[in-house]
Amino acid sequence: QMQLQESGPGLVKTSQTLSLTCTVSGASMSSGSYYWSWIRQPAGKGLEWIGHIYTSGDTYYNASLKSRVTISVDTLKSQFSLRLYSVTAADTAVYYCARWDNGNDDAFDVWGQGTMVAVSS
Amino acid sequence: DIVMTQSPDSLAVSLGERATINCKSSQSVLYTSISKNYLSWYQQKPGQPPKLLIYRASTRESGVPDRFSGSGSGTDFTLTISSLQAEDVAVYYCQQYYSTPWTFGQGTKVEIK
């Protein structure tokens, strides 16, 4: 059973770069047709799709964040990463990594537990 | 962007009774060429990540109890819990993947009356 686990700093200073890594375990990242995704959720609010990456390296970003986001993948390490530049308090949220099954479910079928990131000066 | 609007924002239902959540998209999420609606439903309990319940509008994810069902097409969708159980207390989200950016509804909170 594939599992995902986010890791990274819980506090980032305003205008700095938020960097998170999602480690995939239990199966190979290349074992199916998946998009590796980042989603965030401000406290008490709804879900916002940030973007995703295919194992080929093709990326898709939410246009609202596109100028500040980079998602990368390292299949040898079974990891994919998020970098969000020039953060503000509005970027404070729980960040989830998730697997999008593009072959069977057409959905986010595996999620990490989430990691809280606060942005503060 | 496709805007997903859920109704109601919250509802309280007695144990064993039916709960119905509606989701409306600002444009159709039906891929007519393959007759598939690109819509999914998730359940999120406090302190937990969302859990997939339904994909392609009406296909139940493996392991999801059959009291959960999805219906609808085009722009109007419904998630139904046929007989509410205590463990169903959660926030439910619909999500479209017809076009990027993929977007979620604002969520519907389901409580016990």
Q: Read off the pLDDT band of B59 (50, 70, 90).
A: very high
3-state secondary structure of A89: helix
Q: What is the mean pLDDT of residues B8-16?
A: 98
Q: Read off the pLDDT band of A32 (50, 70, 90).
A: confident
Q: Under a CB-based contact definition with an 8 Å cutoff, are residues B41 and B94 in contact?
A: yes
Beta carbons of A47 and B93 less than 8 Å apart: yes
Identify all chain A residues contacting B104, using CB atoms and an 8 Å cutoff. 46-49
Using CA atoms, how far apart are residues A30 and B70, in angstroms rounded to an integer? 31
Q: Read off the pLDDT band of A121 (50, 70, 90).
A: confident
> For B40, which residue in chain A has the nearest alpha carbon?
A107
Beta carbons of B40 and A108 less than 8 Å apart: yes
Residue B104 has pLDDT above 80, yes or no: yes
User: For residue A39, what are the CA distances in angstroms to A44, B12, B19, B28, B56?
Assistant: 15, 28, 27, 23, 20
Which of B61, B102, B106, B109 should we substitute to test contact with A (largest number of A Cβ atoms within 10 Å)? B102
Residue B6 has pLDDT above 90, yes or no: yes
> For A44, which residue in chain B has the nearest alpha carbon?
B46
Q: Which two tokens stand for residue B32?
A: 């007519």
Average pLDDT over chain B, rounded to whole?
A: 97
Radius of gyration of chain A (CA): 14
Q: Which two tokens stand for residue B13?
A: 């239902």
> For B98, which residue in chain A has the nearest alpha carbon?
A106
